[in-house]
Structure 1
Amino acid sequence: MTDESQLQLVSFGVGSEEFAVNILQVQEINRMMTITKVPESPDCVEGVINLRGRIIPVVDLRKRFDMELTEHVESSRIIVVEVDGRVLGFIVDCVHEVLRIDRNIVEATPSITSSSVDSSYIMGIGKLEDRLLILLDLSRLFNLEELRAIESTVKHGAARNAA
């Protein structure tokens, strides 16, 4: 198999669903840390974190996907990703594994999925032996207006951290 015929992914859980993103978009995975709330930020934005001097907005994927909200637990993580030149953190319930899958086991997104996630966010469904893996298209997770609101959150968060 050539590298072009495979996808290398990071898989993680949010609610009862298992998702994956391209490993090339993942910068790092961190345990939960102090998140600074920022007034007037978009609903799905939990706040910002200071990661080695960089202010990064953190999005709770449970909120983004309209899932039932729960307390963060020991297994909760913040996955720091780069999306269209922007760095964001995503709160997930747990990180499962790094895996390679053949592109030919990924099917196009059916118009009706059992997932609570908007199908426009989904790049495809990976059919593994014992489970389905929802491949997220991070560049479709937010529209331009939402990205601008998130960037505004970063500016307000940076000002709060500097104060």
Structure 2
Amino acid sequence: MGELMVSKTATEAGVDADEAGQYLTFDVGEERLAMSIDAVKEIIETPVITRVPMTPDYIRGVINLRGSVVPVIDLGARLGRGGITLTKRSCIVLVEVRVGEEGHVLGMLVDEVKNILEIPREDIKPPPEFGSEIRTDFIAAMGRLEDVFVIILNVDHVLSIQELAALQALRTEVAPSGSNAQS
């Protein structure tokens, strides 16, 4: 698979239900999910992930990305679907999440990236009030693809500010002394 550069900037992790756009679709377990392509920095093959002790189960560990320490979230575990079993199709979607003025690059481990789709404005619906196994604050919108809906994730909520603070502390703990672990 190699490294696939999708977008160099990540301005928003969510999506406005009144706005059409492009969405990266991917599988987590048996479920097809999506996120705004604007949130995606790049997609990489799954490298060696170093587990860090005393972190929540959904934090799979950290990877070395061109000299930077990047935390990796197991999206299956984060969404309550159980941890992802690594296969040759598993990959990491790198996203940039902003907290104030700072951008943080995080990896989200998924079972398989499918494709990039254009979803017309009229096919983007607000998230449901109930009826999903995913926390409703994780859902930015629902995208209709022919006769089925795909859940469009709100990356900022899936990776909350409190968790980002914990991840920043994690970066500091595992960064080799004298190196710059900033993303």
TM-score scaled by length of structure 2 = 0.79
8 Å contact from structure 1 (residues 36, 157) kept in 2 = no
Sequence identity, in percent? 36
1:70 Cα offset (Å): 4.4
RMSD of Structure 2 on Structure 1 (CA): 1.8
Higher helix proportion = 1
2:54 to 40, 44, 48: 40
Aligned to 2:90: 76
Aligned to 1:146: 163
1:88 to 89, 95, 106: 106
Question: For residue 126 of structure 2, what is the amino acid of its counterpart?
Answer: A
Kindly tell me the number of residue pairs found equivalent between the two proteins: 157
Consecutive aligned runs of 4 or more in structure 1 exceeding 6 Å deviation? none
1:73 Cα offset (Å): 0.8
Cα separation, 2, equivalents of 1:35 and 1:83: 20
Aligned to 2:34: 20
Cα separation, 1, equivalents of 2:29 and 2:79: 10
Aligned to 1:137: 154
TM-score scaled by length of structure 1 = 0.89
Question: For residue 141 of structure 1, what is the amino acid of its counterpart?
Answer: V
Aligned to 1:117: 134
Change (3 A) 1:70 1:42: closer
Could you say what secondary structure the match of 1:71 adopts? Answer: coil
1:111 Cα offset (Å): 1.2
- What stretches of structure 1 of length at least 5 have no aligned partner? none
Aligned to 2:11: none
